[in-house]
Structures are given as structure tokens and as C-alpha cells.
């Protein structure tokens, strides 16, 4: 990765991606570099979830600069904005795992709420100094989640952008608070913001505390596949590349101040997800004893406050901006399992993440 400084006089002004060393940020940057010309500055604190090795395969002359830092470090962010004059800030940085937020919510408040507030203030200060076309073109894009809308009853329609926020977990509440701040900075100060609220992502580079990579690693290690409660909780799964293309579409064509829901129209129960993972593993790497990986499925204590159902109505982004997901769940899951099978070093590396990260909510060693 090129670590040369990207300056304001570079021909195409950069975009600033925060949290770009995490799961979705990594996928976003790798996709962006394939199709777009604007350079990227990746500002990341490198928590347990951030991994710079994700970029080891990109060409050394790629236009990407990495800055190790916190979105809440106002001095650092102000200096960065002044030097690089990015055309947009895309805020992916967050504490993102619900179970961790239940165990220890403080970091979620610090990064997701206070960090976003500080980043918004830096963005506002920067934007207010921009003149003419540079000011008109500037955007602040907040990457958010469907969890802000709370849990759906089986009979309820999927979440629309107008739904009220009824978050359940400390994570969801912290993301909802950040979304409110983003909206307020637009209404009060006119900051040109965009927000995306996306459903559950899966794909390469996801930290193996989340359902799909955790189940893959547990299965390959011959351990239990721990399904919370009755396993009938459902999520709307979207392949990560489709989320990335949605973020690019909203950045390029979204109406200022608007919110766009992003989903895969692909609701599945957790039990069905785990069965599907086992079926792919059975085909790709059969167990030596000839049994199915399904034999490893077990039920464990439920997550406190566990939302029963999420589903996204993405008709706004589809009809207004022409976005639609390209990957089917079957092909996306196969690609994902194959990626983890071919990147066991990456998996092993993530297991040695910094302290406090080795045990998931149910006390499993991952």
C-alpha cells in the first residue's frame, strides 16, 4: 500500500474513509480502487476488528494512504481535512458487535456516538470553509444499520426509511444516536449528509465473531455450532459487495439529507443460515468421519434483548437510484465459505487479535 501523503493539489480530490481496515471498509476500499479514480485516505484506529494485512495484495502504486487514528481525535482529523481537502467523508468506523456491546457498552458510546459527533464537527468546520463547487460537492456519508429500527413482528412490513427508531441493544442505540446527530447536523447547519441503513452483511474479511464466519471456524475446528435460543430469529442477509455498491451509488447520486435503506430481500432464520453453511462445507471439505457438519449444531443461551426479526424494504434506493443487489444468497455464501477456506492464515491471525477479544458472549473460545 502506498503510504505517500495525498495532498489537496492532487488532481482528483480524495475521499476519506473511516474504519476502512474493518470488514465492510476493506471491501469498500478494494472495490473502489478497481473502478474509481479518486484516491482514498483510510483513517482507522485499528481495534481488534481492523486489519491492515487486508491490503497486502494491492498494487504498491495504488492511491491509498493509511492514517492510524481515532475519529474522535479532533486535532488529527482537522489537520487531515485541511491538508487533503477530501471531497467526501464516509464514516464506517464503529464498534460493531452486538454481543460486545452487551458485555461492555462504553466503547460503543465513545466511538459510535461521541466519535461521530466529533467527526461531524470537524466535517462542518471543514465544509464551512470550502468555497464554490468544492463546497457544493462535499458529502458526509454515515454508514448505519437496520438495527436502529428495532425488531419486527412476523406480520409487520419490512423497515422503511420513515420507521421510528426503537433500538434494542447498546450497539443499536449508539448507532441510532449517531444517525440522529447526522440528521441534526444537516437540518441545523446544512451539512450535506447522506445516510445508509443496511441489513446483515456477509463475505470476505468479516471478523469471526459474527454468525457466518464464526460458524465456519467452529465447524472446521470440530467444535459446537452455537445457535442462540430457538434459532428462529431472522435477518435479511446481503453480500458485502452489494452493500459497497449501494454506498457508492448513494455517495454519487443520493439526494442530500436523505436516508436510504439497503437490503437483500433475503430473510432467513439463523438455523437456516447454519444449515446452509453446513451444506456448503459438506460439499467443499467433507468431514473425515463422513458425517455432516450439522451434527455439530447446538443450542445455547439466548442473547439478552435479542431482536427477533429484521427485514429491509429497499424500494427507495432501487427506484430512485437504480441500485439492486447482484449476488444471490447461494452464490454469495459459496464464495464466502471458499474465501475462508482459502484464507485460513487470515482466520488464524484474527484469532490472535488483541486482548479482550478471544471470548465471545457465550464464553466460546474463537
The catalytic site residues sit at: 146-147, 171
Residue among 142 and 296 whose Cβ is closer to ligand NAD: 142
Residue 273: CB partners within 8 Å, gap ≥ 6? 211, 212, 215, 235, 237
DSSP classification of residue 208: T
Contact between 113 and ligand NAD (CB under 6 A)? no
Give the 3-state DSSP-derived string for 235-246, with helices as H, strands as E and coil as C. EEEEEHHHHHHH
Cα 32 to its chain centre, rounded Å, is 15
| Bridge partners, residue 44, by sequence | 68
CB of 206 to ligand DAU, least distance (A): 8
Per the DSSP assignment, residues forming a β-bridge with 234 are: 269, 309
Q: Cα separations (Å) of 44 from 8, 194, 337?
A: 20, 21, 27
For residue 278, the minimal CB distance to ligand DAU (Å) is: 14
Burial grade of 310 (CB within 10 A; 0-12, 13-18, 19 or more): buried
Identify any residues that bridge with 67 across adjacent strands, giving them in sequence order.
43
CB of 17 to ligand NAD, least distance (A): 10
**Partners of 41 in beta bridges:** 16, 65
Residue reference for cell 487470515: 346
Among the listed ranges 34-42, 133-141, 228-236, 240-248, the one in contact with ligand DAU (CB under 6 A) is: 228-236
DSSP 361: T
In the complex, what is the shortest distance from the CB of residue 358 to ligand DAU, in angstroms, rounded to a whole number? 14
Residue closer to ligand NAD by CB (options 6, 198) is 198
Residue 214 contact partner, candidates ligand DAU, ligand NAD, none, CB within 5 to 8 A by sort of partner: ligand DAU
Which cell numbers in the block locate residue 307? 431482536
Does the footprint of ligand NAD cover residue 100 (CB under 6 A)?
Answer: no
Asked whether position 145 contacts ligand DAU by CB under 6 A, the answer is: yes
Q: Name the minimum Å distance from CB 314 to ligand NAD.
A: 13
Region of 73 (left: φ > 0; alpha: ψ -120 to 50; beta: rest) is beta
Q: Which residue in 226, 254, 263, 332 binds ligand DAU (CB under 6 A)?
A: 226
Q: Is residue 25 a contact residue for ligand NAD (CB under 6 A)?
A: yes
116/296 with CB nearer ligand NAD? 116
Give yes or no for residue 280 binding ligand NAD (CB under 6 A): no
Q: Segment 170-199, which members bind ligand NAD (CB under 6 A)?
A: 175, 198
Buried b (16+ CB within 10 A) or exposed e, 320-350: ebebebebebeebbbbbbebbeeeeebbeeb
Among 27, 19, 16, smallest CA distance to 201 is for 27
Which of the choices ligand DAU, ligand NAD, none does residue 203 contact, using the CB cut-off of 5 to 8 A by kind?
A: none
Q: Which of residues 301-320 bind ligand DAU (CB under 6 A)?
A: 303, 310
50 binds ligand NAD (CB under 6 A): yes
How far is CA 31 from its chain centroid? 14
Contact pick of 101, 200, 249, 357 for ligand DAU (by CB under 6 A):
200
Footprint on residues 51-90 left by ligand NAD (CB under 6 A): 70-72
267 in contact with ligand DAU (CB under 6 A):
no
Number of residues that bind ligand NAD (CB under 6 A): 31
**CA 278 to CA 295: how far, in whole Å?**
9
Residue numbers at the binding site for ligand NAD (CB under 6 A):
18-19, 21-25, 43-47, 49-50, 70-72, 92-96, 111, 115, 143, 145, 175, 198, 200-201, 207
Residue numbers at the binding site for ligand DAU (CB under 6 A):
96-98, 145-147, 199-200, 210-211, 214, 226-228, 233, 235, 270, 303, 310
Amino acid at each position: 500500500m502506498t503510504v505517500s501523503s495525498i495532498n489537496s493539489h492532487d488532481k482528483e480530490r480524495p475521499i476519506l474513509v473511516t474504519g476502512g481496515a474493518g470488514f465492510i471498509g476493506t471491501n469498500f476500499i478494494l472495490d473502489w480502487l478497481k473502478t474509481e479514480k479518486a484516491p482514498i485516505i483510510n483513517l482507522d484506529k485499528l481495534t481488534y476488528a481492523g486489519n491492515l494485512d487486508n491490503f497486502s495484495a494491492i498494487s504498491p502504486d495504488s492511491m491509498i494512504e493509511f492514517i492510524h487514528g481515532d475519529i474522535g481525535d479532533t486535532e488529527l482529523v482537522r489537520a487531515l481535512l485541511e491538508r487533503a481537502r477530501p471531497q467526501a467523508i464516509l464514516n464506517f468506523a464503529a464498534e460493531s458487535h452486538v454481543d460486545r456491546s452487551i458485555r461492555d457498552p462504553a466503547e460503543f458510546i465513545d466511538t459510535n456516538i461521541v466519535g461521530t459527533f466529533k467527526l461531524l464537527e470537524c466535517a462542518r468546520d471543514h465544509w464551512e470553509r470550502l468555497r464554490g463547487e468544492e463546497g457544493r460537492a462535499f458529502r458526509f456519508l454515515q454508514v448505519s444499520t437496520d438495527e436502529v429500527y428495532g425488531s419486527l413482528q412476523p406480520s409487520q412490513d419490512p423497515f422503511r426509511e420513515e420507521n421510528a427508531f426503537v433500538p434494542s441493544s447498546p450497539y443499536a442505540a449508539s448507532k441510532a444516536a449517531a444517525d440522529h446527530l447526522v440528521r441534526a447536523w444537516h437540518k441545523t447547519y446544512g451539512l450535506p449528509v447522506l445516510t445508509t441503513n443496511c441489513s446483515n452483511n456477509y463475505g470476505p474479511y468479516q471478523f469471526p465473531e459474527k454468525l457466518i464466519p464464526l460458524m465456519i471456524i467452529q465447524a472446521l475446528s470440530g467444535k459446537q455450532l452455537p445457535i442462540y435460543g430457538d434459532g428462529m430469529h431472522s435477518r435479511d442477509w446481503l453480500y458485502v459487495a452489494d452493500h459497497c455498491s449501494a454506498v457508492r451509488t448513494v455517495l454519487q447520486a443520493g439526494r442530500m439529507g436523505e436516508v436510504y435503506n439497503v437490503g437483500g430481500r433475503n430473510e432467513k432464520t439463523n438455523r437456516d443460515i447454519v444449515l446452509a453453511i453446513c451444506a456448503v462445507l459438506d460439499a467443499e471439505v467433507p468431514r473425515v468421519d463422513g458425517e455432516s457438519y450439522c451434527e455439530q449444531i447446538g443450542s445455547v443461551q439466548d442473547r439478552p434483548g435479542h431482536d427477533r426479526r429484521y427485514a429491509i424494504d429497499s424500494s427507495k434506493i432501487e427506484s430512485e437510484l437504480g441500485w439492486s443487489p447482484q449476488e444471490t444468497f447461494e452464490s454469495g455464501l459459496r464464495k464466502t465459505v471458499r474465501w475462508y477456506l482459502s484464507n485460513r492464515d487470515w482466520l488464524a491471525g484474527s484469532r490472535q487479535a488483541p486482548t479482550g477479544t478471544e471470548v465471545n458472549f457465550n464464553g466460546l473460545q474463537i
